[in-house]
Chains A and B, each alone.
Chain A
Amino acid sequence: MSFLLFQISCIIYLLSAATYLFFFLSEKKKVRKVARWLFFIGAVLHTLNILFRYLEAGHTPITSHHETISFFAWATAWSYLSFRWRYTVKNLGTFVSTLVVVLMLIAAFSSRQIIPLAPVYQSWWLPVHASVSLVAYAFLALSFIGSIMYLLQEREIKQKRFGLFYSRLPSLEALDKLNHHCLSVGFTLLTLGLVTGVLWAKQAWGAYWHWDPKETWSLVTWFLYAGVMHQRFTVGWRGRRIAFVSIIAFVSAIFTFWGVSFLLKGVHTYAS
């Protein structure tokens, strides 16, 4: 059942992304409305998928690679929707839906097997630590998208050559605000994820910090984001500079999320 839901939501996301792309090129408002609804329906079905998976597995489904990526996609979709509720950022949907589809496809191609949870993971820290961290990643992913959009738009305005993006992307200020908002929420959650991780480590392995590769890289990522926030509040960094650093920090976050698990072995490797 959960797999069927996963497949349907994946297809609907795909349709939504295609429609968004069509809107991006044609700029027809009706098309956007369709895309929005598709995306919303996809997100709802995806939620059901995760709930069913929870019931089937008997534990929070954020342990295998498939589950983690799927949850990441889900969190990105909903943090975007939570954002959209308050104010619109023109064509953000196009970029977000594309990212969500990419994540869903990666999840679809990794093993969907339900793996029994090792005793060390059987704790209520699991849902808290894992979901908080992934939602943090979702917001940071939005900030990453916002930064890319900012750089694209800024380039055209600065160079005074107006191409594909000028009319299609929102104003620089809107993108900077989006960035600020997502960074604030993302950084807060990231900190929370780190703290819960540390507490859980103490409980599970007896020490707060192991210098496990994943821990080390999380710390690097955290420092990068802390740096961004600090510069923003003290010196008043904005726009281009923030966008640049935010992109670099997100690459580091993705490395923490993926690279570390596959390239460097440690306690965090996904159950397999």
Chain B
Amino acid sequence: MPRDTIVLLGVNHKTTPLVIREKLAISGGYDQSLDLLSQLDGIKECYLLSTCNRVEVLFTCREPIACSNRVLEMLFADAVTGKDLKEYVYHYQDEDAVDHLFMVAASLDSMIVGEAQILGQLKEAYRYAADHKSSGFVLNKLLHKAFSTAKRVRTETGIGASAVSISYAAVELAKKIFGDLHDKKVLLIGAGEMAELAAENLVGQGVADVVVANRTLQRAVTLARCFNGHAVALEEVFGQLEQVDIVISSTGATEVILNKEDVRTVMRERRNKPLFFIDIAVPRDLDAGINELENVYLYDIDDLNNVVEMNKSERDKEAVKAERIVAEEKLKFTKWLENLVTTPTIIELRRMVDEVVMGEYQKTVNRIEGLTDGDKRSMEKMASAIAKKLMHHPLQYLKSDHHCVSKTERITVVRGLFNLDNNEFLK
């Protein structure tokens, strides 16, 4: 009885340019996509992750190739051509899939190695999968293992200590453009988590004022209060551009919200005071042409990556240690996965033994009269203890690594010995 294959398909910031990634991002929310996925033929369990740096699908099935094609078709066929898919989507199975998932969870595959956001995103994605009951026995175990691996990496290596998120890189750049940030103003367009983090970093660097613009004003007000700033409506953004120095945009808008000509007009009003745009939204909020204007600098997520690359080497040393942990955990999980093949046999064997024990015990107890409850209990205990002792070695034989005898062979032997395949006790 072969077990299901674990398949992981996806794109990330390493393999795929932002232009493609923003098309692939799951826009309809997890609910819809998960429903569609689990209805696909042959998919047993599935889980879906979509962040600004990656889109990944994890599923188990019997026929990996046919199912992968079906999944790709369903999720991405509308967005990009088949050629692009072939070029950009990576495809991992079993051990490689586990390895990749652990690397992602431990933030070793992140754009900024060691940043903590990814684990939260992973957990949220898992919550959706669990709510939809689209993840089952194998994926539940796998994802929990991924979380605990991430935790181990975080506590046992220094990778999180110097960990920085995208926003940290943005602060570095802001300092290269403005030098001193103490008299600078920041405008957040969109009040998402990323924007919050970026603003927090900037405030930590002494930024004078924070203005928050958001579609729902309530959220903007709440966020602005955290930074002693003030909130404005989304329509007021244009007026604000004349006064602020750094703009962080992270709205969920599908269209560009500021184009080159808008900013050109603003620059005249600003008398060419430099303006730094950070676009952390996927799909992008800001027209890429903005960067061509004088005294205006525009960085999107991919660009920020370059800034990060530069102070990466220190973290890379810790990353080696972290990768070792991931490898260890992967080994543990694949063992568990392999044992999965023997699990049904073990369960059947235990059940059979239990039934034999209970049957014989009942017979004996019924024949002897005058037994107290205590006596009965002792007898039952004794019977199951004998059975357990006898079963210990056969079970060990199944579970442990036997170098000379393959797992399937061992399973056949045990099943034959105990006649599990046509046993009258098991219905």
Residues of A bordering B, CB below 8 Å? 153, 157-158, 160-162, 166-167, 170-174, 235-241
Contact = CB atoms under 8 A, between A and B. Distances in A.
B122 to A, nearest CB: 29
B297 A239 contact: no
Contacts of B270: 236
B115 to A, nearest CB: 20
Contact of B176 (A157, A237, A239): A157
A122 B263 CA distance: 59
B177 interface: yes
A228 B173 CA distance: 28
Nearest to A239: B295
Contact of B271 (A160, A172, A236): A236
A240 B303 CA distance: 21
Contacts, number: 53
Contact of B179 (A158, A166, A174, A240): A174
Contacts of A157: 173, 176-177, 297
Nearest to B179: A171
B306 interface: yes
A162 B176 CA distance: 12
Nearest to A177: B179
Nearest to B176: A171
- In this complex, the interface size class of chain B, counting residues with CB under 8 Å from chain A, is 20 to 34
Contacts of A240: 294-295
Contact of A167 (B179, B306, B310): B310
A241 B173 CA distance: 21
B274 A239 contact: yes
A170 B180 CA distance: 11
B303 A160 contact: yes
Interface string B277-314: 00000000000000100110101000100110010000
B131 to A, nearest CB: 41
B310 A173 contact: no
26 contacts: A157-B176, A158-B291, A158-B297, A160-B299, A162-B306, A162-B307, A162-B310, A166-B176, A170-B179, A171-B176, A171-B179, A172-B176, A172-B178, A172-B179, A173-B178, A173-B180, A173-B274, A235-B271, A236-B270, A236-B271, A236-B273, A238-B272, A238-B273, A239-B272, A240-B294, A240-B295
B151 interface: no
B175 interface: yes
A interface: dominant SS: loop
B310 A171 contact: no
Contacts of B175: 171
A238 B271 CA distance: 9
Nearest to B271: A236
Contacts of A174: 179
Instruction: Name which of B176, B177, B271 has the most chain A CB atoms within 10 A of its CB.
Output: B176
Given A162-B307, A173-B177, A173-B180, A238 B297 contact: no
A167 B307 CA distance: 10
Nearest to B309: A162
A38 B162 CA distance: 37
A94 B261 CA distance: 40
Nearest to A173: B179
Interface in B249-282: 270-274
Contacts of B295: 238-240
B177 A172 contact: yes
Contacts of B180: 171, 173
B18 to A, nearest CB: 13
Instruction: Name which of B173, B180, B295, B307 has the most chain A CB atoms within 10 A of its CB.
Output: B295
A228 to B, nearest CB: 14
Nearest to B177: A172
Given A162-B310, A173-B178, A241-B294, A236 B272 contact: yes
Contacts of A239: 272, 274, 294-295
Nearest to A90: B179
Nearest to B307: A162
Given A174-B179, A239-B272, 9 more contacts: A157-B173, A157-B177, A170-B179, A171-B175, A171-B178, A235-B271, A238-B272, A239-B295, A241-B294
Contacts of A170: 179
